[in-house]
Structure 1
Amino acid sequence: MAGSTYGTGPALIGITTDLEPARWSDWVREAALLPVSYLHAIERARAVPVLVPPSIRAAVPVHVERLDGFVIAGGADLDPGLYGEQPHERTGPPQPYRDGFELTLLRAAIEADLPFLAIGRGMQALNLVREGSLIQHLPDVVGGDAHAPASGWTGRHRVQFSPSSTLGRILGEQAEVPTRHHQAVKRLGRGLVAVGWSEDQVVEAVELQGHRFGVGVQWHPEEGDDLRLFEALVRAASDDRR
């Protein structure tokens, strides 16, 4: 089992980032970008956040060896070619560098039994790693835009959980969650179990069978005040450090 080799102390949680052009001061450069809410959530859960930008795939074993767990963060749409489909007109442009890196990182974390929390795009990436597929534009299927009320805005809706699941034990039978996504699971991937659903029956949470903490959520817990998911991740990631 991999994980940090730096002894006791707070767990080191890697958080994946985007690569996008950004402006600061007089500079305009490609930058590793991540909403600061992810960092605050991990810090408030009493762990140390470590940014993991897309890199060469040879870097993945180093991350797996030195970090105690991962948050696979939200972001842009995954390339539909990864699950054998042509892009929908509302699907964003592909980001093959990030896609390839994060799918490789997820496979390695699963193989090493490292705890991870996959959020939004991250849950969708987890589903693809397990040979699942995605709904490319939810309003075509469920009607309306309850899952992504407007560009740049976060909405809220309720999620019902399986009471026997890890998430059910953490969050209870239901919770109101911050939401911002226009894609979702279509065909569930191998070894994944759906454990959370919105009122319109969109899969909102999955768990990887046989993994000590392999959880995917379609909503954005980092945008709310409920730290229970992050605290559960940190507890699982801290087990080997005691």
Structure 2
Amino acid sequence: MREATLGAPGDPGGTANAPPLIGITAYLEPARWGVWVREAALLPAPYVRAVERSGGVPVLVPPLAGLGGTRTLLHGLDGIVFAGGGDVDPRLYGAERHAETGPPQPHRDRFELALVRAVVDADLPFLAICRGMQVLNVARGGALVQHLPEAVGHERHAPAAGTIGRHRVQISETSVLGKILGEAAEVPTYHHQAVGRLGKGLTAVAWADDQVVEGVELQGHRFGLGVQWHPEEDDDRRLFEALVAEAGGG
């Protein structure tokens, strides 16, 4: 928890604990506003609201061109959310691109892989969501299932383009995730890829009914969780609250 000086009414001095700064990884995409069409750092608002409503201060973290600043960036943050987004380039885990795999985004892949590794080295609290969990797995030497409907025979993980679905996940009660959410949860979902071979130090702690891995934990890390679903799209803020509490020293 960082300290801040607050000028309370009638008191020019005084210190208080400031809320933790939580970085959230972002897109770098063409966007339109007013008369402009420009490349922009973008992030769906539910991520920002989830962090803010959980007691943290959200900080947008777009892909940086210079990776030398990654560790410096972490010195200013108390925790980080690895947000969702496009598919990770399969060449990064030694696979050929599937026909249903999205086009590569080398700028974001390169930055977020470096950031995950720096976050792990720094023992910084993190929550990796959807693509974020997949980036975590690849950074740890794991591989991905590139198109789930082909592997599991249904499309319940992403029921319609641009539409969040819901399904139940079973959670290991003894895991950190289980202690936060309990043995099961109904979760918002939108993904067509998932963890295949687990990366080094990662343990699967949640599963869909088709045995797709829905949650992982990084063993030995202060607070290192990955979930395949989208908790920012839910009213249940317990995962964000747990991250903010840990980032704040609680």
User: TM-score per shorter chain, which class?
Assistant: over 0.9
TM-aligned CA deviation for residue 24 of structure 1: 0.3
Instruction: Determine which structure has more spread, i.e. the larger CA radius of gyration.
Output: 2
Match of 2:196 in 1: 186
Match of 2:137 in 1: 127
Structure 1 residues 91-117: Cα deviation after superposition (integer angstroms, max 9, x where no partner): 000000100000100000000000000
Match of 2:106 in 1: 96
Residue of structure 1 aligned with 2:157, choices 141, 147, 158: 147
Match of 1:42 in 2: 51
Match of 2:127 in 1: 117
The 3-state SS of whatever aligns with 2:248 is helix
For the Cα contact (< 8 Å) 2:171–2:184, is it kept in 1? yes
Matching of residue 211 in structure 1 with residue 218 in structure 2: no
The 3-state SS of whatever aligns with 1:226 is coil
Match of 1:17 in 2: 26
C-alpha separation in 2, matches of 1:211 and 1:161: 19
Residue of structure 2 aligned with 1:173, choices 171, 183, 192: 183
TM-score, reference length from structure 1: 0.96
Match of 2:40 in 1: 31
Match of 1:8 in 2: 17
Match of 2:97 in 1: 87
For the Cα contact (< 8 Å) 2:2–2:19, is it kept in 1? no
For structure 2, list consecutive stretches of 5 or more residues without a partner in the other structure. Answer: 5-15
TM-aligned CA deviation for residue 62 of structure 1: 1.7
For structure 1, list consecutive stretches of 5 or more residues without a partner in the other structure. Answer: none
C-alpha separation in 1, matches of 2:56 and 2:36: 31
TM-aligned CA deviation for residue 5 of structure 1: 8.0
Structure 1 residues 109-168: Cα deviation after superposition (integer angstroms, max 9, x where no partner): 000000000000000000001100000000011011000001101000000000000010
Residue of structure 2 aligned with 1:60, choices 48, 70, 91: 70
TM-aligned CA deviation for residue 8 of structure 1: 2.9
Structure 1 residues 182-233: Cα deviation after superposition (integer angstroms, max 9, x where no partner): 0001100110000000000000000000001000000000001000000000
TM-aligned CA deviation for residue 87 of structure 1: 0.5
1:54 aligned partner, one-letter code: P
Query: What RMSD over aligned residues (CA atoms) do the two structures have, in Å?
Result: 1.3
| Worse-superposed segment, 59-68 or 15-24 | 59-68
Pair 101,192 (structure 1): closer, same or farther in 2 beyond 3 Å: same
The 3-state SS of whatever aligns with 1:206 is strand
The 3-state SS of whatever aligns with 2:124 is coil
2:224 aligned partner, one-letter code: G
Match of 2:82 in 1: 72
TM-aligned CA deviation for residue 61 of structure 1: 1.2
For the Cα contact (< 8 Å) 1:178–1:221, is it kept in 2? yes
C-alpha separation in 2, matches of 1:12 and 1:63: 12
For the Cα contact (< 8 Å) 1:207–1:216, is it kept in 2? yes
Aligned positions, number? 238
C-alpha separation in 2, matches of 1:132 and 1:197: 17
C-alpha separation in 1, matches of 2:241 and 2:25: 18
Structure 1 residues 54-82: Cα deviation after superposition (integer angstroms, max 9, x where no partner): 00211211211110000000000000000
The 3-state SS of whatever aligns with 1:193 is strand
Structure 1 residues 11-31: Cα deviation after superposition (integer angstroms, max 9, x where no partner): 000000011100000000001
Matching of residue 238 in structure 1 with residue 245 in structure 2: no
1:197 aligned partner, one-letter code: W
C-alpha separation in 2, matches of 1:233 and 1:154: 23
